[in-house]
Structure 1
Amino acid sequence: MCLPAAICCLQTIMGRKMLLLQVIFLFSSSLSVAQAWGGWNFQNDRVQRLEALGIQEEKNLLVLTATTLPRVLNETRFLMVEFYNPLSKQSQNLIKEMGKAVDIMGKEKTGVLFGKVNITSEKLLEQEFAIKNVPTVKLFVEGQRQQPIDCRGVIEAAALVAWLRNQIRLSVVLLMSREQTKTFINSKKLSVIGFFEDLQEGTVELFYELVKDFPEVPFGLTEQRNVWILYGITIDTMVVFQQGTIVHFEECEEDRHILRDLSQIVKFFTMDLVIEYNIETMDQIYDMHIRNHILLFISKNSTEFGALVKTFESVAQEFKNKLIFLMVNTDQVDNTHVLEYFQITSWDIPGVRILNLTKNTRYRMPAEEITFKNMKKFCNNFLDGLAKQQLPSENIPKDWDTKPVKVLVGKNFKEVVFSHKRNVFVMFYAPWSYKCKSLLPVLEELGKKYQYHESVTIAKIDITANDIHQTFLEKYPFFKFFPAKSDLVVPYNGEYTLNAFIDFVEKEIKSQMELEEWSFEEEESDEKEDLSLQDWKKTKEEL
């Protein structure tokens, strides 16, 4: 079946539901669509990126010169520039409003930048653009410096943004033929085309509203039936093209509620392969229609940051339409709540987790090393329903206390280790860790030695499957001794051998016995003092 016929068939089956077409596997570079349209790579923050281009920024506006203007024009689809005189009060007021406009649009908004040109020092630019009055605002579109659009009479931030958004709306390309449409699609890494029967009113207005929010994306529009037939379109539809290939189409209803759905779809295809999670991107992330997120927790200051992020991006390329890949900078104070939610300690960094927002379920990658192979397997297992969910507690096994080594889980952990009845020596382990697996037989021998001891219990707990909310967590495997009749926790720092474990346990048992004897003697001494005091009072009364 040919592609147009296949699309028509799928439209009939799916009706008005969202459909994602994987026409071909995209062996494209790891550059994201947003980066291709001039977005700032999160690995190089805005300041570093500007420095690399030799551009300064003052009060949210790029300082443009005859040298830097061409560089910035190559970085964005829309560039709004104020030509000003520093001695002009009106110029200074407009600079403030332009800076506010940047905040309204959002610095993270790719595809649009704001700048300023000092005409007292940039005479060539003043002459080239025929600046007669200051301040003057011009909009450069698609990197073209010829015939920029004049913005006249607009002096307030909100009005500047409204004017700019309208210009973005007007940038939609009207496609009149098959050849023009093919050229438009093939020349863009990402493009969105609206196929509408009426280009003046109705559902097309929703499409125009959508255009305003995505200055980084080239939009096209057509009512030509011969173009519709080429792509198998039969009703008003929005189609997303990537690398010249259809990756998604969405039938459009005359309903304001569908605008949010259309926005989420376009937003998904414009996002980076890997998104840095922070305050600015948080809302964007939660608005995505894909509810499965995989998170890389890593310090940006670590030596392995660059290599691990590249590996993470490589995996993201293979699961682009199935999972959203997020990088969480563990150095960022604002991310503390995320670390707490996933119970990430310093020993877990770097680490990988998956979160399903629909069911609010979490998954820990069952591997010590963050490699392409391990992450790919983790993603596949999750999507196939084979990944082990990270729960507050596993169920208590029926035979948890019948073997030499007792099995602890979140539900019985505190009850056992803080019972104040027995001394408990616990191994905290990860079932997939080679080092942990090699120590389990040693722990089993230790358990046999103390299986019938009157006051000692040997136990283990899978720390990756049970949230015990303790502050003493370390890098697995690790061991702790919980003394009877005490809330203290004694860490084990010795060798991982049977004899070393035995020596440690015996030493702690002896310490507990000595402590109990000392406590008993203290109590006896206190009782004698009380009796002596009573005798003295009695003698005093008799006298």
Structure 2
Amino acid sequence: MLKFLIFCTLAVAINAEIAEEEDVLVLKKSNFNEALQAHPNILVEFYAPWCGHCKALAPEYAKAAGMLKAEGSDIRLGKVDATEETELTQEYGVRGYPTIKFFKGGDKESPKEYSAGRQADDIVSWLKKRTGPAVATLNEVTDAESLIADNEVAVIGFFKDAESAGAQAYEKAAQAIDDIPFAKTSNDAVYSKFEVSKDSIVLFKKFDEGRNTFDGDLTKEALLSFVKANQLPLVIEFTEQTAPKIFGGEIKSHILMFLPKAASDFQDKMDQFKKAAEGFKGQILFIFIDSDVDDNQRILEFFGLRKEECPAIRLITLEDEMTKYKPESDAITAESITEFCKLFTEGKLKPHLMSQDIPKDWDKNPVKVLVGKNFEEVAFNPSKNVFVEFYAPWCGHCKQLAPIWEKLGEKYKDSADTIVAKMDSTANEIDAVKVHSFPTLKFFPAGEERKVIDYNGERTLEGFTKFLESGGKEGGAPAGDDDDLEPEDLEDDSDSEDGTDDSSSKSRHWICEVLHPKIARQSIKRPTGRPGLQRNSSLDSERATLRTDRLIFFYLLHLKTSAETMMKYYHCPASQTLGIKPCIQDVPITCKGAASLKPIRSVHFPNDILFQDYVRQGELERIGRFIRAQRVTLDTIYHSGESNTNERFSYTSRNVSSQTLFSALCPAFLSEQEWLQSTRPSCLGTWSV
């Protein structure tokens, strides 16, 4: 008894030393172990003060902490400023923000990664499920009523025999689902209250029909399918809050209705959409997108739509190539949508490829203009050698290439068998070529073989000329990026003191292609926070230091924190660097090793809504699969919707295979006005090892 009292006294003393902010424990290296001892069940958020997603989570996180505290729960929530507590950050492998880990029973060695939603109810529900039984027992009607009232979705199993095979299958299904509470009852009063006459499983929800009763074989798999099909509304609106459920779910076929909420016939069209959704539960996810919302414009652009063209229906599969489909009719009725979905499920639909109209003067200039509608005819003309630039209008590197490409067109304008062309890949899609980086240069040699050769040489008039005169041999490679090759298949002219790295796994081998390991071992320090702020300014919350080990640096930047986070570190010149020398942009590079520098290329991730949401949620495996499946070359990353005016500066490495280069551009959190007021000239430039 005395030992117990001493332990309690110590626990209280320890707890008193840990500061709280809105019921959330403020954790540091100095009190972390004590916190785990005092609180056997604690959820810890590793955050960065400048992180937008951390800021969005903060009020919900605090609300969840308050809810648990008010209930008298022994579960606590804590937070760690990862920019200050770097040792803790490294110890727990934090590679992005926010990272949330659950420490159960004081076990600091193997915390569980938090995997549910970002709302307070989601957090509380997940924690209760992790700390208690997967299935709660309801002994009173009021218990069941409270469960249903407190949750958007809840599942209750009605079993007279708690040891039956059906009840055991129910338990197993409950253990597999984190974000929905499961309960069971054998109480006659509860049966009567909810009009249940025999053993059954009922999903209660605060939308659509209100409840669904399971009527299949009582197996774990069947129950999981039942919950998956009914846990979401028939139609779910796309928002930042619902994005995790939309993209993180198992249903990968999505039909989208683009419609302004302000439309006079909004409710009628929504009713038609919902009616069609009833027949495709668990097969196709029905999503509504308000076409008047500014944040949704990127999605419209991705589907080649303008606000004036809404309402509109599109369907997409979130598989390797994210195939899009467009209905033949613009009518939005339950019948037309049902027929469209039926044809899709039967595999009878042809993919929809965007295309501009063929310009009347498409072949009047030295550089021919290709669109989706004339690409096949021109590029695969058996009597012509066709060299095509796939570009994006906003791409800075495309703009830099433009005058050289025009000169190349001028040089071959009178050629009988060679065509120099260009195509805007943001407005045109083709089956033969999947473009994910800009500019992408591909050569279509004459002949019946329909060969495609990637250009990987110097982006100079001389380099292009040699390539064409050699028939695509000098500077060319078989179509397809080499990011799916094993590391030993890639060229390596490393001159680092230690050529080894710890990224040999398939999930990260493409990083080896992106950068020479040497640069990734550096510590890069930002000299200031936002331009114009004093070093000790209270507003300078964005200041941070990256301490990295080998390739983890770029693994963190690309896979976990996205381009937005990347830019927060690089919006000012990195004055304190190791082994990195500045070279002025637009001036011939004369520093050591310049001869080996490859032309800068760029990749456009932003218009890919799937990739953006994978990044937002930190889905590392899915991001990796996406990059490999889409054959993305990690060159230059632009923030969504940004143009060349927001280009800042880039990093290039001379020890890169296959001309793959890394560039860091456009700090996402700086407005254009802020940028213009900052020390812009000193920020621009190319940095090379």
TM-score by length of 1: 0.37
Structure number with greater Rg is 1
TM-score by length of 2: 0.30
